[in-house]
Amino acid sequence: MLQQHQASTKHGLAAGADHQPERPDWTTDQNWSAYTAQEHGIWKTLFERQSRLLPGRACDEFMRGLQDLPIGPEQIPNFEALSEKLMQRTGWQVVAVPGLVPDDVFFDHLANRRFPAGHFIRKPHELDYLEEPDVFHDVFGHVPMLMNPVMADYLQAYGQGGLRAKALGALDNLARVYWYTVEFGLVQQADGLRIYGAGIASSPAETVFSVEDTSPNRIQFELERVMRTHYRIDDFQETYFVLQHFDDLLNLANIDFAPVYARVAHAPCYEPGDVLPSDKLLHRGTGRYHQHPTHKGKQ
Ligand SMILES: [Fe+2]
């Protein structure tokens, strides 16, 4: 399990003090030709597993993005080819990084529409759980949503807001918003509850758990509530926050968080499984899973 600081900054909000960067922006070459057949094989296993599970569970925007990108089962995607397609659609690029990068570097990349993706792939014994986001989590989980203009603008705004939040001492609040949207977000679609968060979309077990299991709470997304809610770093979420419309992310991208930080600064935080009288509850979880967790499910 990760230490709290490392884990709370997982998926990019990181302080990778152990790594020395090759370049000031921490990017490196993907070095695509160096991937081995075994590494492409791990990608294939992961890709095929998720491709079976996501139809009917991932949102339309995710499925469309996946379909329109040069991402397939046979090979780890080439970041240059991904970037070419993304650039045409939303002006984003994928850049390779060796692993977690410091907060400032991460925010600067996002603010400039560059998505830093780990270029390594997990080992065969890590198929279901790993501590640092790899190319499968970062590319399969995140990049399809970057084909969508709403997520494209939202993630850029998040990067721009990151440095402001840091200056205001509100990084934990902002990180919770990121966690419960970009990583573990659900959205209500006309035909049901759907996944858009990358942490879910790259995890077979959580793909099913998040939308179908009776154990977790599903609560309508509300910004201040989310900013005050701790999250699970080592297992499935106890609560998922659900957008009514995917376009709600646009509102989040456009509002000034500073007054919200000020309001929540001295308010108590909630535990991951708490349900409040003020919550718009879509499903009250039984809590069964976290009383007797049977396996780790992240990534
Ligand atoms: Fe991530």
- Cβ(58)–Cβ(195) below 8 Å: yes
Residue span of the structural domain in which 135 resides? 32-283
| Residue 142 assigned ligand-binding role | yes
Pure H helices in the chain = 4-8, 37-53, 60-68, 79-90, 103-111, 135, 143-146, 149-167, 171-178, 198-201, 204-212, 223-227, 248-254, 258-264, 288-291
In a domain, 91, yes or no: yes
| Residue 137 assigned ligand-binding role | yes
In a domain, 119, yes or no: yes
Element (H, E) at 193: strand 192-195
3-class SS at 42?
helix
How many structural domains comprise the chain? 1
In a domain, 296, yes or no: no
Instruction: Give me the tens of pLDDT residue by residue for the chain, a chain 299 residues long.
Output: 222 333 333 444 444 455 568 899 999 999 999 999 999 999 999 999 999 999 999 999 999 999 999 999 999 999 999 999 999 999 999 999 998 899 999 999 999 999 999 999 999 988 887 778 999 999 999 999 999 999 999 999 999 999 899 999 999 999 999 999 999 999 999 999 999 999 999 999 999 999 999 999 999 999 999 999 999 988 999 999 999 999 999 999 999 999 999 999 999 999 999 999 999 999 999 999 999 766 554 44
Which residue matches tokens 């701790």?
A: 230
For ligand 1, an ion, list residues with CB under 5 A.
11, 133, 198
Q: How many residues does the chain have?
A: 299
Distance 95 CA to ligand 1 centre (A): 14
* Residue 136 token pair: 């499968």
Domain with residue 156: its CATH number is: 1.10.800.10
Question: Which pLDDT value is given to residue 3?
Answer: 25
Distance 15 CA to ligand 1 centre (A): 15
Distance 287 CA to ligand 1 centre (A): 25
In a domain, 22, yes or no: no
* Residue 286 token pair: 């039984």
Instruction: Give the largest CA-CA distance in the chain.
Output: 55
In a domain, 11, yes or no: no
Question: Which pLDDT value is given to residue 128?
Answer: 81
Whole-angstrom distance between the N-terminal and C-terminal Cα of the chain? 13
Burial of residue 88, with CB atoms counted within 10 A of its CB: 0-12 exposed, 13-18 middle, 19 or more buried: exposed
What are the phi and psi torsion angles at 219 (to 5°)?
-125, 140
- Cβ(218)–Cβ(282) below 8 Å: yes
Question: Which pLDDT value is given to residue 299?
Answer: 44
What are the phi and psi torsion angles at 192 (to 5°)?
135, -175
Beta bridge partners of 51: none
| Residue 84 assigned ligand-binding role | no
Residue 217's closest CA among 235, 238, 198, 234? Answer: 238
Question: Which pLDDT value is given to residue 19?
Answer: 59
In a domain, 26, yes or no: no
Instruction: Give residue 180's Cα distance to chain centre.
Output: 8
In a domain, 80, yes or no: yes
Q: Rounded CA gap, 37 and 39, in Å?
A: 5
Distance 277 CA to ligand 1 centre (A): 31
In a domain, 143, yes or no: yes
